[in-house]
Structure formats: C-alpha cells, structure tokens
Amino acid sequence: MSPKDIVNKMYKNDPFSQWLNIKFIHIDKGTCKVSLVIEEKMTNGFHIAHGGICYSLADSCLAFAANTLGHIAVTKKTSVKYIKKANIADELIAIATPMKENKFYTVEIVNQANEKIAHFEGEVHYTSQSWS
C-alpha cells in the first residue's frame, strides 16, 4: 500500500480523528502534515483550546506518519510542551518528522500565523504486521 492509502485506511477507521476534523496537507513515507480548526466544543473553561486537542492532533499526526512506512506502528511514549494558547477559529498545523531509525518522531504544531503552539515528541513500536 502507498503511504496515502495507509493513511486513508487509518482515517476511515478513526472516529476520534474524524471528530477532530483533521485535514491532510501532505503525506509521504515517514512524514505527515495535518491541520484542524479550533471549534468552541474543543475549548476549556477559559475559552481557549483544551490541551488535549493539541495533544490529540500531534498524536494522530505521529501515528499517520509512522504507519506510512508500511508496518503497523503503535505509540509507546509521548511528551508535549505547550508554548502558546490556541483560540477558537485558529487553524493548528502539525508536522511530524522522523528521527532516530524512524522510531522517534517530533511533531511541531503551529497556528495559521506560523507561531509555535506546541512541541511534541513520541516513540513508536513497529509490529511485525504490515499494511496490505
């Protein structure tokens, strides 16, 4: 399967990423760029984006990027550092980049003004099962 076919299959079976209304900007082997727009239902009691939304966007982006290499990948460990708040109607853009042996990824999240919102790091485990 091609990287785009893998991601399309994943997304079709991923109701949470669909709820986030994730849009795909770029998909390639080992990398992915996605976006979403912050809606009111995604905010917390301070009327800013809930941290879980930013985290979830990065986590989905990581999963899509890692799986494009052809084997089913699952997340083992992640961390996120929030840098700037996101508001209703902000577009968040996440870019996953592979690091060491494609087992470690960074995901940078920026807003529509290219301001850094968060930095996410993750480690994945590749199973022996391939996408087919």
> Which pair of tokens denotes residue 82?
């929030």
Q: In sequence order, which residues have a C-beta less than 8 Å from that of residue 126 and are 6 or more positions away?
A: 66, 69, 71, 72, 73, 103
What is the rounded CA–CA span in Å between residue 63 and residue 48? 25
pLDDT at 45: 96
- pLDDT tens column, 19-61: 999 999 999 999 999 999 999 999 999 999 999 999 999 999 9
Q: Is the pTM of this model over 0.75?
A: yes
* Tokens 């966007």 -> residue: 57
